[in-house]
Structure 1
């Protein structure tokens, strides 16, 4: 009898191992996106978000789900965290440990890489899994692109000297020109972080930097509405870290590691707060899910916070 039970256990394990794949299976997707616009503002603390006046972001978030307790990865610095947002993984997986990371100066090798040596990003996953998808990456901090393979990005635009207004115009043009195709746009600015470093987190200058970009966000969204491109778009808003007054960031305090994270669009609950635990590594996994990518790399650690949807999966 014991031998028979052992054989049953043995063959059950063989069946389970044989059924494993090299990619994680996502739940069946009932919300298929036309496009995702991911707005990334660097260094937005929860206190900064609560203090600044940003009526346009408020109006956008009223159409969706907002978290003010999303946890970022350690260290609480820029490049490791943006890499985590857009690769569904923490530094222990992608190996980006500091802002000085370069492909030619790797300390901790990524657990998985493509042919050029880059860890798989959301742009790679979409290019390989979504027919005719168009991708764009708009940024104004030069080092930000270092951890992403530009081969999977159709339009790459860098704006110098902390300027970001032209990139908002380019992002709008990119969306209009590709409105018939699935589209993923990452629209980033570092000026808010630099205001914190130069003047202190929660300084008047830091708060003003948030309020100024909110005006640009409002104009951008209004233009999309005029083109009839708002209702079928999923918008995301997220950041890489917060900050401590007079001390910047890089530590392990909640003020540095807990940040705003939000999503709106078709099938997303409206005017809700995200109650379940959330992490920056969930961002790319959620984007892949919205585009109907059934398989994401097994090396990714992110999950989809399913409570954001109006109708959850069974």
Structure 2
């Protein structure tokens, strides 16, 4: 009887993914405003090659409303607006319209950065962005490096992120590497316009350079990469409930992840942080609602 219980425990342990090696580092490659249609139409050979090494969903749903700040906050907190309280792009720590179900001593809802900092020894975290509001829901206490660039600039942040990873190659690391220029191309020229598609293709070139440098440093094979977006768009905007606004691509590669796998399992932006905690073998906070799409694991 005892032997059977041990075998059952080991099977459940393996199925849950806890038996796999703990992640060394996770890099979130985050592009704002990428619709599935735009992602599929754009020529993105570097992203395609990367994601072929892992699992890709083209059916991932975003939280409502389909706007930027609620969804990136959901990616990074494992929760929707009903938990974290960020319901629009105007959220600031002193201008809350709806209270979070839980906050730290400074009034911030617990993010994946906070949870990892408090539970993983020598954890290093970094946040690179070029839309000023994006960092507002996050407590700077839990970051080793934060870099903001104005006027849609993003190339220097790719360089900074690479050097941060190299510097901390022996530490467990979580990097958020974001650009809003793709979203702005949609707002300025329309979603699916030549300019919008070009903005995705330009980002793909820089992602390719970043990946190549990771390979040259011997860091590629030991890194989990995630490709994320927050919403799509129609005409000149987003925020509604059309499929082009509410469904985005979502991908993950790295040790223990199935290769060339199409994720059919239901998925949502709130699941991103939950997956990251699973990779680092850290328990999810009680207020979080995200779930791990277990089929992505080998």
Deviation at 1:30, TM superposition (A): 1.8
Q: What secondary structure, in the 3-state scheme, does the structure 2 residue paired with 1:81 have? A: helix
Secondary structure at the residue paired with 1:173? Answer: helix
Partner of residue 304, structure 1: 292
- Indicate conservation of the 8 Å contact 1:29/1:292, yes or no: no
Shift of 1:36: 0.2
Corresponding residue of 2:64: 74
Deviation at 1:31, TM superposition (A): 3.7
The alignment's TM-score, normalised by the length of structure 2, stands at: 0.94
Kindly report which structure 2 residues correspond to 1:131-150, keeping only aligned pairs within 5 A, or say none. 131-150=121-140
Cα deviation for residue 174 of structure 1 reads: 0.1
Q: Distance in 1 between matches of 2:294 and 2:26?
A: 17
In the alignment, is the contact (CA less than 8 A) between 2:188 and 2:236 conserved in 1? no
C-alpha root-mean-square deviation of aligned residues, in Å?
0.9
Residue 162 of structure 1, aligned match among 148, 152, 169: 152
State the number of aligned residues: 283
Higher-Rg structure is 1
Q: String of CA shifts for 1:171-223, please: whole Å, max 9, x gaps.
A: 00000000010000000000000000000000000000000010000000000
3-state DSSP of counterpart to 2:59: strand
Match of 2:280 in 1: 291
State yes or no: 1:46 paired with 2:36: yes
Where structure 1 has 5 or more consecutive residues not aligned to the other structure, the ranges are 1-25
Q: Is the 8 A contact 2:72 2:230 kept in 1?
A: yes
Unaligned runs of 5+ in 2: 1-15
Is the CA contact (8 Å cut-off) linking 2:152 and 2:180 kept in structure 1? yes
Superposed counterparts of 1:1-314, under 5 Å: 28-244=18-234, 246-293=235-282, 295-310=283-298
**Which ranges of 4 or more aligned residues in structure 1 deviate by more than 6 Å?**
none
| Alpha-carbon shift at residue 243 of structure 1 (Å) | 0.4
